[in-house]
Structure 1
Amino acid sequence: MSPPYDSTTAVELASAKIFIPDTVTSTWPWPRRLNQYYSKVTVESAAWFASFKAFNSARALDAFERIDSDLVSCLGYPIASKAHVRSACDVMRIFFVIDEYSDVSKPSDVREQKNVAMDALHNPHKPRPKGEWVGGEIVRQFWERTIQDASAQSQKRFIATFELYLESMVQQANDRNEHCIRDIESYIDVRRDTVAMKAVFALLELGLDIPDEVISHPTIEAMAIASMDMVFIDNDIASYNMEQARGDASHNMITIVMRDLDTDVNGAMLWVADLHMKTQKKFLEAMATVPKWGEPIDPQVREYCDGLGNWVRANYEWNFETERYLGTKGPEIQNKKWMPLMPKDCLKDSREIGPVHVDCSLL
């Protein structure tokens, strides 16, 4: 396979730095767009979330807010109403809570977290039991508010896809517990669920009413799969350094490719960048052949498909604007396309549940 980036030399690839490929900026036709309600929903969602005290220290909560999950929501849903983008902000916080708790939980506890969250979705008006995992009440309040202004189709699909996501988190916990590193094919299968984009795409439908046979059409499904694949590839590229520094990089495409193809980190970066380019082509080819169903379906399908394309851009830009993976150096790293490899396990010692601050002196 020839590298997709001719400017990358063998000397550079052999260095101690990690190459960060430009997978989207120069090739993806969707521009960066931010929802007009970003500043308002950020304040509301942050205050709501802080009331749960989901993390056990002010430091962990501060690190969580530096993630700016509201930003990726407002980039991902640029034309959504205030009510809908608020739901998107709230659920993105939920994804990160589940991710942080499951990362430090044994598989049986992650299974229980799944059961609690699903029960809250199915019973949004029922008070949660005292002493229960905090995620139950967070999910319940999110869903009780969301269903007030959501189409029946979007509600049905969100519940189904959220369960797939939660089940994949149980599988990831099992893999971690058994020290299992998957091969490329099986990793992609499970990553399509752990990335949570199926549920994210269901929220694109909050104001739409698209029939099942349209969403499940092979062309639409191909676009959705291609979009989520590009999202997780970009996410795994940006997060790899932080994850290996936390001692938790086994569920990452870079690790998988390094192991499967017997290459180094930069060889893996080039390989996944090439896969990303091939996936872009699949998406755009599928979009050019989307069928026509007539009114009132076609305008809704166009909005949904545009949302799938936009999410690739939204996630890519957020990866460098958030402090989650690259601290405050994201824009600089995005521009230079290189960063130092942080010492392995240097962020592993934190005993707090919640995200960690990335020490920018290491980057």
Structure 2
Amino acid sequence: MLATVANTTTPDTESSQFILPDLINDCHYPVRQNPHYDAAYHASVQWLMDVAQLVEPEIRGYIDMDANGLGVVCYPDADAFHLQVCSDFLNWIFVIDDWMESGVVDARKVHETCISVFRDPINFDTERVDGKMCKSFFSRFKETAGPGCTQRFIDASELYFAAVAKQVDDCAKGHVYDIGSYIALRRHMGAMRLFFNLIEFAARIDLPDEVVSHPVVKALEDATNDHVCWHNDILSYNKEQSRGHAPWENIVPVIMYERGLDLQGAMDYAGQMCKDAIQRFDSNRAMLPSWGEEVDRQVAIYIEGLQHWIAGSLRWHFDCARYAVSPDRIIKLLPKRPYKCGA
């Protein structure tokens, strides 16, 4: 449910600091690292220069962020070729998300161009940089991705761009989200379903429709999606509030608004939501049915890939320069810029 408000302030945030939830200790899954890290890292930097055409100082932020490092812990069993495609896609999603958010590119044009590329990466031609980035990684993706995986990637892309457009429209109209409506939108806006398709791609599997449509598999995906998006919101909150991002683009102020909590209370609440997501994941994994030996083997790989995304993304966020998380979990609030839609 959406509400429209004239005043976009949230409950009192005057404290100078807050304590992060103990997300690392609340997550009992191991973190593994892909052995092809070094080669993929250097190739990713070169890709940002050659295909994304980034130069200093813009490229420095993406090099320091190291999206390849996220791929290394989320796809630890991928071979060098598949890891590189995953890393290039991760770089693309961070770059394009930043460009759309800052207004450097028109989100509608990006949507139109990239979906055209995904439907025909060989024959569709474009001079747009975002489109060339798509052609670069998706033409390699299609070399080994199965037909089901490929179609799911395209479908998830449509949902991602639609969610971005909706968020921009809601912001312009002054709409704010309750927790339920925010979660529903965030599940697509975070592009996680695209990352899940890369689990299949990296493992050279193509799950049958009866598997991907099964309620237990969807529940496992939702639990993973929620945890990754929420721990991202928690760990990026300080940076976002300091840069004047819309307060309704993050689960923490959404909780503050709906529950009437202060910042620390909302952080604790969001941390409990993350713990609950892991419990949902474990409970649903225990209920997985059987589809036969070969399909069960593929399903086990896919579910382990979801687990890698929970633990790997969490670890990467704590190590990543983009989020600057203090080891003691005590975060001093950065000076706050005024809220501006689309800032």
Distance 1:249 1:320 in 2: 23
The answer (yes or no) to whether the contact 2:37–2:68 under 8 Å persists in 1 is yes
The alpha carbon displacement at 1:310 in A equals: 1.5
The answer (yes or no) to whether the contact 1:84–1:149 under 8 Å persists in 2 is no
The answer (yes or no) to whether the contact 1:245–1:347 under 8 Å persists in 2 is no
Paired residue for 1:122, among 119, 123, 129? 119
Residue 232 (structure 1) aligned with residue 224 (structure 2): no
Distance 1:34 1:175 in 2: 39
Residue 336 (structure 1) aligned with residue 306 (structure 2): no
Residue 203 (structure 1) aligned with residue 195 (structure 2): no
Q: Deviations over 1:242-276 (max 9, x none)?
A: 00111014200011111111211111101111111
Equivalent position of 2:245 in the other structure: 248
Structure 1: where are the runs of 5+ without partners? 1-12, 352-363
The answer (yes or no) to whether the contact 1:153–1:205 under 8 Å persists in 2 is no
The alpha carbon displacement at 1:149 in A equals: 2.0
Distance 2:217 2:126 in 1: 40
The answer (yes or no) to whether the contact 2:148–2:207 under 8 Å persists in 1 is yes
Paired residue for 1:212, among 209, 212, 218? 209
Distance 2:81 2:51 in 1: 21
Residue 96 (structure 1) aligned with residue 94 (structure 2): yes
Instruction: Map 1:99-110; keep pairs closer than 5 Å.
Output: 99-105=97-103, 109-110=106-107
Equivalent position of 1:47 in the other structure: 46
TM-score by length of 1: 0.85
The alpha carbon displacement at 1:28 in A equals: 2.6
Residue 142 (structure 1) aligned with residue 137 (structure 2): yes
Return closer, same or farther for 1:222/1:49 CA change in 2, 3 Å cut-off. same
The alpha carbon displacement at 1:29 in A equals: 3.1
Residue 67 (structure 1) aligned with residue 65 (structure 2): yes
The answer (yes or no) to whether the contact 1:162–1:199 under 8 Å persists in 2 is yes
Equivalent position of 1:37 in the other structure: 36
Distance 2:145 2:334 in 1: 44
Question: What secondary structure does 1:181 align onto?
Answer: strand
What amino acid does structure 2 have at the position aligned with 1:29?
H
The answer (yes or no) to whether the contact 1:117–1:136 under 8 Å persists in 2 is yes
Distance 1:95 1:170 in 2: 15
What amino acid does structure 2 have at the position aligned with 1:316?
L
The answer (yes or no) to whether the contact 1:83–1:149 under 8 Å persists in 2 is no
Distance 1:229 1:287 in 2: 16
Question: What secondary structure does 2:331 align onto?
Answer: strand
The alpha carbon displacement at 1:223 in A equals: 0.4
Equivalent position of 1:319 in the other structure: 317
Distance 2:313 2:229 in 1: 9
Equivalent position of 1:17 in the other structure: 17
What amino acid does structure 1 have at the position aligned with 2:100?
S
Question: What secondary structure does 1:296 align onto?
Answer: helix
Deviating more after overlay: 33-42 vs 338-347: 338-347
Equivalent position of 1:80 in the other structure: 78
Distance 1:291 1:53 in 2: 43
What amino acid does structure 2 have at the position aligned with 1:143?
F
Question: What secondary structure does 2:18 align onto?
Answer: strand
Cα root mean square deviation, aligned: 2.1
Distance 1:240 1:18 in 2: 11
Question: What secondary structure does 2:106 align onto?
Answer: helix
Distance 1:185 1:101 in 2: 27
The answer (yes or no) to whether the contact 1:33–1:75 under 8 Å persists in 2 is yes
Distance 2:336 2:270 in 1: 22
Question: What secondary structure does 2:268 align onto?
Answer: helix
Return closer, same or farther for 1:193/1:54 CA change in 2, 3 Å cut-off. farther
- Amino-acid identity (%): 30
TM-score by length of 2: 0.90
Instruction: Map 1:139-288; keep pairs closer than 5 Å.
Output: 139-206=134-201, 207-250=204-247, 251-288=249-286
Distance 2:259 2:117 in 1: 42
The alpha carbon displacement at 1:53 in A equals: 4.7
Distance 1:210 1:53 in 2: 32
The answer (yes or no) to whether the contact 2:245–2:339 under 8 Å persists in 1 is no
What amino acid does structure 2 have at the position aligned with 1:114?
H
Question: What secondary structure does 1:26 align onto?
Answer: helix
The alpha carbon displacement at 1:73 in A equals: 0.9
What amino acid does structure 2 have at the position aligned with 1:85?
L
The answer (yes or no) to whether the contact 2:52–2:130 under 8 Å persists in 1 is no
The alpha carbon displacement at 1:204 in A equals: 0.7
Aligned length: 326
The alpha carbon displacement at 1:82 in A equals: 1.5
